[in-house]
Amino acid sequence: MALNKKTRIKDAAFRRCLSVVVLTLLGVFLLIFLFQTNTVSDNEIQYSNEIDQDCELTNNYTQLRREFNLPKQNELSILLEKRNQLPPINLDKFPKLAKDHVTIVLYVHNRPQYLRVVVESLSRVVGIGETLLIVSHDGYFEEMNKIVEGIKFCQVKQIFSPYSPHVFNNSFPGASPTDCKDKDDPIKQPCKGNPDQYGNHRSPKIVSLKHHWWWMMNTVWDGLKETCHHSGHILFIEEDHFIFPNAYRNLQMLAALKPEKCPNCYAANLAPSDVKSRGEGWESLIAERMGNVGYAFNRTVWRKIHRKAREFCFFDDYNWDITMWATVYPSFGGPVYTLRGPRTSAVHFGKCGLHQGQGGSNSCIDEGMVNIRVEEIDKAGNIDPKWGVHVFEHQAGYQAGFRGWGGWGDTRDRELCLEFANMYHLRDRTSP
């Protein structure tokens, strides 16, 4: 009854205000229209003169440490920072980079059995001699270093994260004796640290992954004289990504086609975002959500990501990729697509998690297990520039609103992360 009465009153009100409603609706439609136009133009990534930044890099660490709130370094940390300034190797054999080269960054932890496989796959990549390969290490591991020093097929530069938790054995960012552990309560038992949203304290080995990724991103875009003038794409791969011989040529093709075929694509990918997929095999390009295997983008996109440092560094999830999907990309205000071919050019083969593979003798790889067959069609570029683009809309995955898996609750980790975003922008800080 009550419901009925309400409905009738509403009915009457509706009839009386019909014209008002129609007008309002018109207004709403107009607003939606304007809003959409607005987001669309927001989506078109602006070309800006930030490309022409003059990279005024400092190698005065005394000054860096004074300006920024970076952890106190030990000898190894300082040594690594100096080593990062060394020029690439193999300059005698490959004195020049091709004009349209795509720099390749391979970021690694401590899984030498994997790294050997990746390096072997890279040695067969067509065109690799035209570019610079940067290998970014999360800490210093002699065996990893040796493998990279043995590379002969292109210019190679190694960089080592000097603030990796692996470089500090008894102080932050490593584990310090006074730190809270697991679910310690700092009130009951005096210790240092903030728990994450699930009540757990930081684990240095786990936070090292996100720290390394962010340090590496900031360093290769803004902190190296070899790359700070690079205006093209940079490709990012990991130590458990098998790279097909056609990867480089396909990527160059995708980068060249992107502005015309998919102006709203932020990146190009070597592999589908579903890491188990090897592609559809269609005669078409694919635009889909950003994947985390073999992704490449340019400096314009990096500047957009860098502007979201706060979102990245304060999100309580220790995974860099989930952090990007759940906070950074959604903050761009529209779907963040990447362009790829219909057949994969990279395969994720890692079977063991990073935490298992590291250190000690309990490495979890079965030697010689990697058995990826490269078919004839994947040995040379196999993307046809005449193809159209198939767009995968509304794919499942992490979205804005996801609160994170935790592991990233400690204020010190968040601050260090922010310092990584600031440390190559000395001038911005010192100028008023």
* Length of the chain, in residues: 432
Helices 411-422 and 204-222, packing angle to 10 deg: 10
For ligand NAG, which residue of 43, 45, 68, 123 counts as binding (CB under 6 A)? 45
Subset of 348-407 contacting ligand NAG (CB under 6 A): none
Does 7 bind ligand NAG (CB under 6 A)? Our answer is no
Quick one: tokens of 245? 């011989």
Span from 70-78, 149-157, 176-184, 390-398 in contact with ligand NAG (CB under 6 A): 70-78
* Amino acid making up residue 94: F
The percent of the chain in helix, strand and coil, each rounded to the nearest 5, is 40, 10, 50
The distance of closest approach from Cβ of residue 263 to ligand NAG in the complex, given in angstroms and rounded to an integer, is: 7
Asked if 47 touches ligand NAG (CB under 6 A), the answer is yes
Select the span of 56-64, 85-93, 187-195, 396-404 touching ligand NAG (CB under 6 A). Answer: 56-64
Q: Which residue lies nearer to ligand NAG by CB, 248 or 266?
A: 266
Tokens 């006074």 sit at which residue? 178
Q: Is 76 in the site for ligand NAG (CB under 6 A)?
A: yes
Task: Label the pairing between strands 337-340 and 295-297.
Answer: unpaired
Scanning 55-63, 100-108, 316-324, 384-392 for contacts with ligand NAG by CB under 6 A, the matching segment is 55-63
Q: How far is the CB of 178 from ligand NAG (least distance, A)?
A: 15
- Indicate the residue among 234 and 347 with the shorter CB distance to ligand NAG: 234
Task: Give the SS3 label for residue 392.
Answer: coil
Question: Where does residue 203 rank: exposed (0-12), middle (13-18), buried (19+ CB within 10 A)?
Answer: middle
Give the pair of three-digit tokens for residue 231. 């205006």
Nearest CB to ligand NAG, comparing residues 64 and 191: 64
- Give, in degrees to the nearest 5, the angle at Cα 123 between 153 and 274: 135
Per-residue contact string for residues 231-270; x = within reach of ligand NAG by CB under 6 A: x--------------------------x------xx----
List the one residue out of 342, 260, 255 whose CA is nearest residue 300: 255
- b/e code 51-60 from CB counts within 10 Å (16+ = b): eeeeeeeeee
The correct pick among 36, 39, 60, 277 for binding ligand NAG (CB under 6 A) is 60
Residues 163-192 that bind ligand NAG (CB under 6 A): 169-170
Least Å distance, CB 44 to ligand NAG, is 7
Do β-strands 265-269 and 295-297 pair in parallel, antiparallel, or remain unpaired?
A: antiparallel
* x-marked contacts with ligand NAG along 213-232 as a string, rule CB under 6 A: ------------------x-
The window from 13-21, 279-287, 298-306, 324-332 that contacts ligand NAG (CB under 6 A) reads 298-306
Six token digits for residue 425 = 């922008």
Q: Which of 253, 301, 326, 354 binds ligand NAG (CB under 6 A)?
A: 301
DSSP string, 125-184: -TTGGGSEEEEEESS--HHHHHHHHT--SSEEEEEE-TT-GGG-SSSTTS--TTB--TT-
* Choice between 154 and 257, CB closer to ligand NAG: 257
Interacting residue ranges for ligand NAG, rule: CB under 6 A: 45, 47, 51, 60, 62-63, 66, 74-76, 169-170, 231, 258, 265-266, 298, 300-301
